[in-house]
Structure 1
Amino acid sequence: MFQGEETLVGEGPVLLTYGEGIAHIQLNRPETGNGFDVDLMRQFQEVVMQVHGDSRVRAVILSGNGKIFTGGGNVKDFASKGAELPHYLRMATAYLQICVSGLVNLEVPVVTRVHGFAAGGAGLGLVCASDIVICGASARFMAGATRVGMAPDGGATATLSKIVGFRRAMDLVLTNRFVDAQEAERIGLVTRAVPDDQLDEAVLTVARQLAAGAPRAQSAAKRMMWNGLARGFESALPDEAREVAALSGTGDAMEGLQAVIEKRQPVFKGH
């Protein structure tokens, strides 16, 4: 996908490659529709932590290998646990919470590429925990949890209503109806929908733009925007003032101002 691509994790249920300042995390269980089980979530956590510790990374792309992004939980795996399912799901849910929290708390922006289908607590949770979501025109979305006698997880009970509104979120969670790409874009579940054959180009263009941005400014903006979901207007103001003052003393800020004056593209270096 990138120029000079470097493979960091080349096998297993989650792959990781790097290039052009972008880390590409790819779910890699196409035979199960990238269904989430404990093994996949464990490696997902390890990959996110590897990205978190890599100072070269300026943006992240999250995608799925195969025909769909993810169908959510690995239903066959869950059903095989029998009486042990509650214990297994406690472990699985704990890992999923770490995974979605890890995406939200990454200091760099996450661009999620959705093709085919995104469903269940894992699918919807990942979509809602991403900073920018771009889907193909044929993509569909579904909550799905109550359809199999369970409840939403992956943080979706907190994020979904903030993104699409309470009434619409309740409708999606209780009815498990399909949402096509056009509706997903209209209600704000995704950032935008593009023709399927333009999906890779659209995702990579955005990721490259973010990777070229001012990293400290983008990190501060991301953190404050996510924190803003859970706080009021007044409590956000001091945090904004502190960050703006701190960022104004950086080399990147001076470069950005000078670039505007000189009518050129800025070159940000992260200091």
Structure 2
Amino acid sequence: MTRKLIDSGMVLLDIADNGVGHLTLNRPEAFNGMSVPFLRALYDALMRCHSEPELRALVLRGAGAHFCAGGDIKDFASKGEALPDYLRVATSWLQISVTALMRLNAPVVAAVHGYAAGGGGFGLVCAADLVVAGESAKFLPGATRAGMAPDAGVSVTLPRLIGLRRAMELVLTNPTLSAARAKELGLVNRVVPDEALSEAADQLAGTLAEGAPLALAQSKRLLWDGVGRSVETGLPDEARTVAELSGTADAREGLAAVIERRRPRFTGR
């Protein structure tokens, strides 16, 4: 059974009984292009995710033909000379939304079909924890093609995901990457037939939802924090986190399950 949390508007949200949520970008008529109202709706939906204790994994997807085509170019062009002020607002909402995605305790699986382009689509892919792509999906940084610079944290996340030289080439030359090439580079975890995308993403999210939520949340935090810090600052935090987790009921259950050769039953305590 699925519970509808946000059932109308530019971003939809639901959560199933197994703890798997679905956050759907819902501007198919604009290829899920990002405007300020859209970004506010995205942030509100992510904040709702943060307030749902039953959420154990989240699938991020797009309605219509594409995952997300990036910024809403027509919306941007309509602002004329006021565009810089408008983009300051848009970028602020985008950045806090990406941060909310990375800081969500539940692991995030991006299910990508069609295009994932620009700071919006490409940036959300870089900010997801795991990425499953349909075999016909395309990935395009796109910012410099439009006379812009990367946003949505891409200038930080992309070099860490694929290395500085490769990131520099993608950002400066804007090739359109196939799903297979994106997987080779390390942007995508799995490539599946287009018709199997939804099922594959849900299966992966379902597997994550069965995991120990406290351990997954802390592991995710450590890995994202590691993107921007040194080993010297990261190792003490890692050790402290491991010690704290060892005192949880889930850790005791996990050890018992290994010893008894059975599936663990995690409760998030």
- TM over 0.5, shorter chain: yes
Q: Which TM-score tier does this pair reach, normalised by the shorter chain?
A: over 0.9
Structure 2 residue corresponding to 1:56, chosen from 54, 57, 71: 54
Deviation per CA, 1:112-149: give whole Å up to 9, x if none: 10001100011111011110011000001001111111
SS at match of 1:16: strand
TM-score by length of 1: 0.97
For structure 1, which runs of at least 5 residues remain unmatched after alignment?
Answer: none
The answer for the alignment partner of 1:268 in structure 2 is: 266
Which runs of structure 1 show a deviation greater than 4 angstroms over 4 or more consecutive aligned residues?
none
The answer for the alignment partner of 2:91 in structure 1 is: 93
Quote the offset at 1:235 in angstroms. 2.0
Quote the offset at 1:234 in angstroms. 2.5
The answer for the alignment partner of 1:174 in structure 2 is: 172
The answer for the alignment partner of 2:149 in structure 1 is: 151
SS at match of 2:92: helix
Count of aligned pairs between the two proteins: 268
Distance 1:232 1:190 in 2: 25
Quote the offset at 1:199 in angstroms. 1.0
Structure 2 residue corresponding to 1:35, chosen from 33, 36, 50: 33
The answer for the alignment partner of 1:47 in structure 2 is: 45
- Structure 2 counterparts to residues 228-243 of structure 1, below 5 A: 228-243=226-241
Distance 2:126 2:11 in 1: 19
The answer for the alignment partner of 2:4 in structure 1 is: 7
Distance 1:263 1:23 in 2: 30
- Structure 2 counterparts to residues 84-163 of structure 1, below 5 A: 84-163=82-161
TM-score by length of 2: 0.98
Quote the offset at 1:173 in angstroms. 0.7
- Structure 2 counterparts to residues 212-223 of structure 1, below 5 A: 212-223=210-221
The answer for the alignment partner of 2:74 in structure 1 is: 76
Identity of aligned residues (%): 52
Q: CA RMSD in A?
A: 0.8
The answer for the alignment partner of 1:16 in structure 2 is: 13
Distance 1:192 1:223 in 2: 22
SS at match of 1:56: coil
SS at match of 1:122: helix
Deviation per CA, 1:4-51: give whole Å up to 9, x if none: 011111111100111121221100000000000001100100010011
Distance 1:14 1:123 in 2: 14
Quote the offset at 1:237 in angstroms. 1.5
SS at match of 2:228: coil
